[in-house]
Amino acid sequence: MKAEILSGLKDAILNYESAEAVKYATLAVEQNIDPIEAMEAMVEAIKVIGDGFQTGDLFLPELVGAADVMQKATPIIEQSIRKQGMKRQTLGVVLIGTVFGDIHTIGKSMVTTLLSAEGFTVHDLGINVPSDDFLKAIDQYKPDILAMSALLTTTAPETTKVIAALEKTGKREQVKVMVGGGAISEDFANFVGADGYAPTAPGAVNVAKKLIS
């Protein structure tokens, strides 16, 4: 039964089936399967998708689909982990959000999923996040990395405001800053003083690893 459930979790992500992922995540909890083991089964599957995207064998819709499936099932497993007082080993803490004025979420959600799969603890503030909320969350979560997403050219300058606020409040040295999204380029990232940039979600994971190391 255990092997069937863990295999079902993997297959649900590999086949982009949200309902199946939720079903097998729920069964894993009901059958008292180690939630860390269940999480690792999902991680293994999402890494296959991420690797396929990196090599060009899979494309953006597949990456988006797999990330969405994993996001549906992950809260079920994470709740079981918390209930049992267990903790996953973490590479570091990432605070992520889409900047103020921007309501796009797909890219941010993919980065969040892949960072979590790789072993980061991720706190997602959602979309349309004002600079003050980023600063408050830094005080609350003490992240190693702040990751900001901006898809629009009109909202990209919000990243500058957040970085300026970090410097003004003396928090800039406390956290590495990553930026990304359709409106962001490497030149722009360098201009605003970010520590890291990547044009793709899998690339963002690699940047995060380098910043942590």
What integer pLDDT is reported at residue 54 of this predicted model?
A: 84
pLDDT per residue as tens digits for the range 52-65: 988 999 998 999 89
What integer pLDDT is reported at residue 213 of this predicted model?
A: 86
What integer pLDDT is reported at residue 111 of this predicted model?
A: 94
The conformation of residue 65, written as its DSSP 8-state character, comes to: H
What integer pLDDT is reported at residue 82 of this predicted model?
A: 87
Give the domains, in start order, of the chain with CATH numbers.
Answer: 2-83 (1.10.1240.10), 93-212 (3.40.50.280)
- Can you give the pTM of this predicted structure? 0.84
pLDDT per residue as tens digits for the range 121-175: 999 999 999 999 999 999 999 999 999 999 999 999 999 999 999 999 999 999 9
Q: What DSSP string runs through 159-172?
A: HHHHHHHHHHTT-G
Q: State the sign of the Cα–Cα–Cα–Cα dihedral 18, 23, 26, 27.
A: negative
